[in-house]
Amino acid sequence: MKLPSLKIRNLESRFPVIQAGMGVRIGNSVLAAATIRLGGYGTIASVGLGDIEKSKTDFANESNRVLAQEVKKARELCGGKKPLGVNIMIALSNYRELVEESVRSGVDFIISGAGLPLPLPEYVGNADIALIPVVSSGRALSVIVNAWKRKYDRAPDAVIVEGPQNGGHLGFTLEMIEHPETCSLEMIFQDVKKVMTDMGYDKIPILAAEMIASRSDIERVLAIGYDGVQVGTHFIASEEAGLDRKSKEVYVNAKREDVTVIKSPVGLPVRVLKTPLVNRVLSGNREKFSCPYRCLRTCNPGKVPFCIARALLATWKGDVENGLYMAGCNVEAMTKIYPLEEFFKTLED
């Protein structure tokens, strides 16, 4: 079967693949530009971009400065090709500033989840940018589309459905995560499709984000009815991903039994690898830290067991002892560090 292209608003890519905007600094300008060149949607993760020292006194402006720089660099690296977007989590304290900076920087699309991105259309205004909420249930989507319609007369341009086995933060209860068969991508698709059809949005693409590591994985979710995929975990081991090689090796060597779920300072469960930091947290230790930025609206630095920003920066630097390694259930499919082109070549006819 020839894979279809992916049309979102006035954008189109050869393959139905969005590269997930993985923070911190994994989904950077280099990975996004490579994805666009190879025929997918490239996404820059907007979280944790700023210089650490400068962020201590001017967090929001410093984050904006580096985001604009990353967007510019990505455009240069792929010769101005589209579609280039950003991922901005609603849980971030500087959400509005990041959205407004993305508009100024002229991105093509914004993906927004980790909570309900209710004010996104207001912050984007009249800019010609595709808006793509991330949901894990038809109920969450219904709240978003009804609010957007009522307040802004705006529909989403695509919807991403994250399943219970995906990497990173999870919009499910622990009980559902233990029983993924009760909330599978197939089941969520039926609910999400119904919400979209009832709203008259039946032509708007719906994308699956969970455990996609090969062409056959893509074909499997297209057969359910999805229009494309968002790939996270599997792209972490690409040469182009922004993190240190030592951290890529941790992912490549990980086994399915190394994957676990802990409570994140974001306030949601998060799927991660059992690395030294996670083992310390699981045995009840609290990492001492002071927080000059308040990057998350939901985090209470006096109570949470560790600083997620510091832990994700440690992963980026290759500090295996202190890093947090977010990963999906398909981590074993990553068997080596590989050029991204190798994945995209398998999608050709």
C-alpha pair distances (Å), 181 with each of 120, 165, 188, 192: 32, 10, 11, 17
Please classify residue 89 by burial: count the beta carbons closer than 10 Å to its beta carbon, then call 0-12 exposed, 13-18 middle and 19+ buried. Answer: buried
**Of 109 and 202, CB closest to ligand FMN:** 109
Residues 27-86 within binding reach of ligand FMN (CB under 6 A): 45, 47
The closest residue (CB) to ligand FMN is: 232
Query: Does residue 218 belong to the site contacting ligand FMN (CB under 6 A)?
Result: no
Q: Which is nearer to ligand FMN, 23 or 40 (CB)?
A: 23
What distance in Å separates the CA atoms of residue 140 and residue 171, rounded to the nearest whole number? 10
- Select 70 or 162, whichever has its Cβ closest to ligand FMN: 162
Q: Which stretch binds ligand FMN (CB under 6 A): 58-66, 162-170, 187-195, 291-299?
A: 162-170
**Cα dihedral sign for 275, 134, 89, 143?**
negative
Q: Report the site for ligand FMN in 166-205 (rule: CB under 6 A).
A: 166-168
| DSSP-based three-state secondary structure for 329 | coil
d(CA 274, CA 312): 14
Cis peptide before 24 (omega within 30 of 0): yes
Least Cα distance to 325 among 257, 268, 258, 267 occurs for 258
Q: Is 231 in the site for ligand FMN (CB under 6 A)?
A: yes
Asked whether position 230 contacts ligand FMN by CB under 6 A, the answer is yes
Q: By CB under 6 A, name the one of 62, 108, 162, 191 that touches ligand FMN.
A: 162
Q: Establish if 23 lies at the interface with ligand FMN (CB under 6 A).
A: yes
113 belongs to the binding site for ligand FMN (CB under 6 A): yes
Counting beta carbons within 10 angstroms of the beta carbon of residue 10, is it exposed (0 to 12), middle (13 to 18) or buried (19 or more)? exposed
Q: Which stretch binds ligand FMN (CB under 6 A): 6-14, 225-233, 279-287, 296-304?
A: 225-233
Site residues for ligand FMN, 84-103, by CB under 6 A, read 87, 89
| Least distance CB 244 / ligand FMN (angstroms) | 13
User: In angstroms, what is the minimal distance from the CB of 203 to ligand FMN?
Assistant: 23
SS3 of residue 207 by DSSP: strand
| x-or-dash string of contact with ligand FMN, 307-336, rule CB under 6 A | -------------------xxx-x------
Concatenated DSSP letters of 192-206: HHHHHHHHT-TTS-E
Contact (CB, 8 A) for 122 and 88? no
Q: What's the closest the beta carbon of residue 77 comes to ligand FMN, in angstroms? A: 20
Number of residues that bind ligand FMN (CB under 6 A): 30
**Residue 80: CB minimum distance to ligand FMN, A:** 25
Interacting span for ligand FMN (CB under 6 A) from 21-29, 78-86, 96-104, 123-131? 21-29
- CA 318, CA 246: separation in Å to the nearest integer? 5
Residues composing the chain: 349
* Residue 210 within binding range of ligand FMN, rule CB under 6 A: yes
296 vs 16, 58, 95, 185, 290, CA distance in Å?
32, 15, 9, 28, 14
Applying CB under 6 A, does 232 fall inside the site for ligand FMN?
yes
The position carrying tokens 């030294």 is 276
Binding site for ligand FMN (CB under 6 A): 20-23, 26, 45, 47, 87, 89, 113-114, 134, 162, 166-168, 209-212, 230-234, 236, 326-328, 330
